[in-house]
Amino acid sequence: MYQYDELKKLIEAIDRASPKGKRDYAIILIACRLGLRCTDIKRLRMADFHWAEKKLCFVQSKTRQPMELPLVPDVGWAVIDYLKYGRPKVDSDRVFVRHMAPFFPFAEGDHLEQLIRSYMEKAHIPKLKKRRGMHSLRHTMASVLLEKETPLPLISDIIGHLDTNSTAVYLKVDMERLAQCPLNFKEVIQCE
C-alpha cells in the first residue's frame, strides 16, 4: 500500500509532456482513482468510455461482471490528453498500447510492474519487502475509501468484488477506530 505523499511523488515523477508519460499518467490515475485491475486497464476499449454520460462501462476480466464507474474529471482529462496527443496512430480499439514498435496493445502477461518501478525510482520511493505495484494502487484506493467511512459493501462494488470478504482482505485494520470500540472483558469471558 502507498502513503498519500508517496502517491503524490509517484504521480509527479511522470513526464506528462511525453507520449509515454501521458499514457502512464492516465493508467496510474485509473488505478488510483477508479481502482481498476491491471488487466481491466489493459483491456479498456474506446467504446468503454461514455463521454457524454461521464461513465466508464466495461466487463471485468476476473468476475465477468459488468462494471459502471463515474468518469471523474482528472481521469477523463488524462485519457483525453493521451488519446489526442500521446497515443501512437495504430489500428486497435484498445485505449492503451505499447510505445515501442510494434505498437500493439499490452500482452496478457504484462502486469505493468516495470511501469510502476521506474516511477518509484524517479520519485525516490523506497521499495519495501512487500510488492508495491499496480495492484497496490487498488489496495490504497480501498483503504482511502475506508478512512472516509465508506461502507464496506460500497467499497466492494467500486473495486468490483462480488463478496465483501474479498474486499476485507484488502483493508488494513484501523487501529485508531478499533481502540474506540473496546470490548468489556467480563462480557467476552461470559460469551465463552
Between the alpha carbon of residue 170 and those of residues 4, 58, 73, 119, the distances in Å are 17, 23, 26, 23
Look up residue 155 and give its three cell numbers. 467499497
Radius of gyration over every alpha carbon of the chain, rounded to an integer in angstroms: 19
Q: C-alpha grid cell for residue 133? A: 505495484
Determine contact, residues 43/58, Cβ cutoff 8 Å: yes
Q: Which residues pair with 43 in a beta bridge?
A: none
d(CA 143, CA 139): 6
Query: How confident is the model at residue 158, as a pLDDT?
Result: 67
**Distance (Å, whole) CA 69 – CA 50:** 10
Report pTM.
Answer: 0.77
Whole-number pLDDT of residue 5 = 79
- Compute the distance between CA of residue 184 and CA of residue 20 in angstroms, rounded to an integer: 56
Contacts within 8 Å (CB) and 24+ apart, 182-185: none
Q: Would you list the domain boundaries of the chain?
A: 4-175
User: What pLDDT is stored for residue 12 in this prediction?
Assistant: 94
Decide: 139 and 159 in contact? Cβ < 8 Å: no
Residue 21: the pLDDT is: 96
Asked if 26 and 81 count as a contact pair (C-beta separation under 8 A), the reply is: yes
Residue-wise pLDDT tens for the chain (192 aa)? 667 778 788 889 999 999 999 999 999 999 888 888 888 999 999 999 999 999 999 998 878 889 899 999 999 999 999 999 999 999 999 999 999 888 888 887 777 888 888 888 899 888 765 556 666 777 676 766 666 776 766 666 666 665 666 666 555 544 444 454 455 555 545 555
Who's near 174: CB < 8 A, 6+ residues apart?
A: 146, 147
Domain 4-175 CATH assignment equals 3.50.50.60: no
Tell me how many degrees the CA angle 63-98-100 measures, rounded to the nearest 5: 160
The total number of residues shown for the chain amounts to 192
Strand order in the sheet with 55-59: 49-50, 55-59, 66-70
